[in-house]
Structure 1
Amino acid sequence: MDPTEALPDNALANILRRLPVRDLAVSRCVRKAWCAVVNVHRLLLPHVLPRSVCGLFVNYIDYERPRFFARPSMELPAINGDLGYLPGYNTGHHQIVDHCNGLLIYGTEWTTEFFVTNPATRRWESLPRLDAQNYNTYLVFDPTVSPHYEVFAIPMVPEKIIPVKKPSNSEELSQFSGPYCLNELFLLLEDTPPVKDLEEEYEDGPSELSSQETIEEETIEEDDLLAISALSPTECTGKQDDPEAEWPPSSWMLDVFSSSTKQWQKRLFVRQGEALETVATVRLDRLNPTEWGPRWRYSVYWEGALYVHCRGAFVVRLLLQDGKYQLVKTPINIEESQHAEPYLGKSEKGIYFATVHCHSELRVWIFNVSGGQISWELKHHIDLNPQTMIYQPKVINETWFLYGDNDEDGTNKILGRENCEWNSDDDNILNIDDDYEFSNSYYSFLGFHPYKEIVFLEVSSFRGVAYHLNSSKVHYLGKFRPKDYYQGHSNGIYETFPYTPCMVGELSECG
């Protein structure tokens, strides 16, 4: 007999809470009784989301893998930013697709091969292939509610391919020459294929999901099933034959993967309010908001809702518990988005939206829901000129490093105890009155600090800074250009994801 079985739950909880964080997390797998005690007494809660940013995962243009721009820490366990344990990490052009509360989606839209991983625990699992095309994947994960996650496949509006007359001679061929993007050619298909007939899809009835194991999951009841069967495939999927059709459709059928069932399933969301755009107007918004990306629009999971920045200059607000969704125009229109760098994120007060116009004008809005009314409130309008930003500090050393680039043998040297802990409140922050060199610079938006009103910016080429929105103070982080990144005009970043660690999450494979 196990001696711990004779202990009262409170006594066992007092013993387990003395374990290091990683051992405490592992103890949940030793015995069911231990797992129950850890969960009931919420022993992992202070460690599940430490409310700290460990770094930024960066996708680079034309570079074979993402890299981790890390903040050194004396805390244990240290976060290993090398994702080499994932299949294809060192051989393919896979990218980080999304991040939510410590979990990442890693994969490629071309092969529809995706993995969900937790860098803090170095565990991962692959997602089953989805029988669909032209979609973006987004994570929903709240470890304070459930160890399980969901992945939402949000369909894109494909472009219409304009027929081009085939050149008949060399003279016409010379006029036809020019740059082309094969990736976009394959992505911009005429139309997505129709989904299976809904009656056939639900022939055996919907699968039952446990509300205790999923995050606000809504099962499809019999009455809903009858309503779904009455809808045409066009109403459910938004088939884009008609350019004047509403987008998204009033009844939107989405594919959702649940880690509790290990399957993709259909989830119906019904629109609240009027449509904002048609297929034709959405197509006016370029696939890439700006010349240098990002390829993906960002998403945020916040208080039971998934917010997705979609092509067409609007945000879809999916109310996961109610099976409804709302459309919210962004603070900028389609034309403005072509000259800015729109970024949807989460920070201290909830949902934020930021743009950088002309590489130097930063604007930040906060999302408000009050009395049933939805609006954006402009909170910051900042001119990022050399007099308000710090460039190339003389005496303060960089405090962050690009994982794997510090030593020639591939290991990461310690940058010094004084630089290992970043107090983002005040100390270790550079004052704009200090003596530093200034230079003509351009700025790109990298992300929000999820718990404080701080934004991460790229200054000129691959120099990272943290900018305090309320005090205008700046912390120089360091350079995040990989040493083996070739020199070329296309060098740059696609996307960045501020990474917050999580010490739990039920993933099947161990790295």
Structure 2
Amino acid sequence: MDDLNYASFSGDGSKVYDPFEVWDHCNGLILLQDSQVNCMVVNPATRQWAHLPPRPPPLCAGPPEYLYANDYLVYDPTVSPHYEVFSIPRFTYQNLDPAVEELEWPPSPCVLHVFSSKTGRWEERSFAREGATVAGTITDMRTDSSLGHRHAVYWQGSLYVQCQTDFIMRCTVNSGKYQLIQPPAAFEPSDWTDDSRARRISIGKSKSGVYSVLINKSHISVWILDDSDGQIKWVSRQLIGHLPKLQDESYFQLESHGHWMLHGIDPRWDSES
């Protein structure tokens, strides 16, 4: 990694600042991404950073313009000094060829692009599905065409990714296998209409493991993922307290991690600052 410096330079030597956004984080590393889908991994503790090479197009059926991908960090300094970035494909709302629409998603094996800091390049990695659970078809995935970034967490050697229609894909990094986990609250296509935009489900990580949070207007529900007996199940957790009363358009701005606080957010970008 190079020394931390958020500015790049143009051909005439002038500084060019790209509006990078925090896209993911894992055990002290931060993944940033700009509007051109350029990625950078930052270590705030050592003030070092590294630009990733351009990500190849998603490895799945369908025209590239109907596909995009979300990137997620995998890093455990107790195991290795190197990190990886997993690219998980997603589908836009456009109709594809009928033969493509009925394809199972995710397939088995599922081939993903994974960047390795050890090799410095993107590689194709195949994951075979464990269990009989099937998330659905590509048509089903397109019913959830929301463009918002989905959360992922890395826990005990596995990457848990919240995918379209809210199912969770658990990739065991070293085994080349994945499992599908249904969300604790079922996804409905109507969840993304204007009338119900206050409903939001996401995943996170705590000292107890992987959890899921459902925000539905003024109600909040929390579940912990439990597979201690070999069976994957969600265990409900009771919360003390409640959400503050907000205007409907404010619910979707709330985060599901940490303490609840209200802040005024100015969405305007001030180019003069």
Q: Normalised by the shorter chain, which TM-score bucket?
A: 0.7 to 0.9
Code of the residue aligned with 2:55 in structure 1: it is: L
2:92 match:
158
1:244 match:
102
1:124 match:
49
- After superposition, the CA RMSD in angstroms is 2.6
1:144 match:
78
Q: SS state of the match for residue 141, structure 2? A: helix
Is 1:282 paired with 2:141? yes
Give the conservation status (yes or no) of the 8 Å contact 1:446–1:458: no
Equivalent residue runs for 1:5-84 within 5 Å: none
Q: SS state of the match for residue 101, structure 2? A: coil
Q: CA deviation at 1:384?
A: 2.1
Q: SS state of the match for residue 128, structure 1? A: coil
Q: CA deviation at 1:333?
A: 1.7
Deviations 1:99-126 (A, max 9, x none): 0011111113x52311111122210011
1:365 match:
223
Give the conservation status (yes or no) of the 8 Å contact 2:92–2:145: no
Q: SS state of the match for residue 140, structure 2? A: helix
Q: SS state of the match for residue 165, structure 2? A: coil
Seen in structure 2, the aligned counterparts of structure 1 residues 277 and 382 have a Cα distance that, compared at 3 Å, is farther
1:111 match:
36
CA distance in 2, matches of 1:84, 1:329: 41
**Which structure shows the higher helix fraction?**
1
1:51 match:
none
CA distance in 1, matches of 2:243, 2:31: 36
Q: SS state of the match for residue 91, structure 2? A: coil
Give the conservation status (yes or no) of the 8 Å contact 1:305–1:320: yes
Q: CA deviation at 1:284?
A: 1.1
Q: CA deviation at 1:159?
A: 2.7
2:131 match:
273
Q: SS state of the match for residue 280, structure 1? A: helix
Deviations 1:481-509 (A, max 9, x none): 46xx549xxxxxxxxxxxxxxxxxxxxxx
Q: CA deviation at 1:251?
A: 0.7
Any unmatched runs of 5+ in structure 2?
10-14, 59-67
Q: CA deviation at 1:343?
A: 1.9
Is 1:345 paired with 2:204? yes
CA distance in 2, matches of 1:86, 1:372: 49
Deviations 1:276-309 (A, max 9, x none): 2111112112324xxxxxx210110000000000
Deviations 1:427-447 (A, max 9, x none): xxxxxxxxxxxxx43655424
2:149 match:
296
Seen in structure 2, the aligned counterparts of structure 1 residues 247 and 143 have a Cα distance that, compared at 3 Å, is same
Identify which of structures 1 and 2 has the higher relative contact order when contacts are C-alpha pairs closer than 8 Å and 6+ apart: 1
Q: CA deviation at 1:139?
A: 0.3
Identity level (%): 37
Code of the residue aligned with 1:456 in structure 2: it is: H
CA distance in 2, matches of 1:313, 1:330: 6
Q: SS state of the match for residue 232, structure 2? A: strand
1:13 match:
none
CA distance in 1, matches of 2:92, 2:259: 32
Q: SS state of the match for residue 160, structure 1? A: coil
**TM-score, reference length from structure 1:** 0.44
Give the conservation status (yes or no) of the 8 Å contact 1:277–1:312: no
Any unmatched runs of 5+ in structure 1?
1-82, 162-189, 192-239, 289-294, 387-439, 449-454, 463-480, 488-511
**TM-score, reference length from structure 2:** 0.79
2:21 match:
95
Give the conservation status (yes or no) of the 8 Å contact 1:445–1:456: no
Give the conservation status (yes or no) of the 8 Å contact 1:250–1:270: yes
CA distance in 2, matches of 1:321, 1:246: 24
Seen in structure 2, the aligned counterparts of structure 1 residues 323 and 156 have a Cα distance that, compared at 3 Å, is same
Code of the residue aligned with 1:457 in structure 2: it is: W
Seen in structure 2, the aligned counterparts of structure 1 residues 333 and 286 have a Cα distance that, compared at 3 Å, is farther
Seen in structure 2, the aligned counterparts of structure 1 residues 447 and 121 have a Cα distance that, compared at 3 Å, is farther
CA distance in 2, matches of 1:316, 1:337: 20
Is 1:354 paired with 2:213? yes
Q: SS state of the match for residue 308, structure 1? A: strand
CA distance in 2, matches of 1:113, 1:353: 29
Aligned length: 241
Equivalent residue runs for 1:192-341 within 5 Å: 241-274=99-132, 275-288=134-147, 295-335=148-188, 337-338=191-192, 339=196, 340-341=199-200
Give the conservation status (yes or no) of the 8 Å contact 1:361–1:381: no
Q: CA deviation at 1:324?
A: 0.4
**Which structure shows the higher strand fraction?**
2
CA distance in 2, matches of 1:376, 1:143: 29
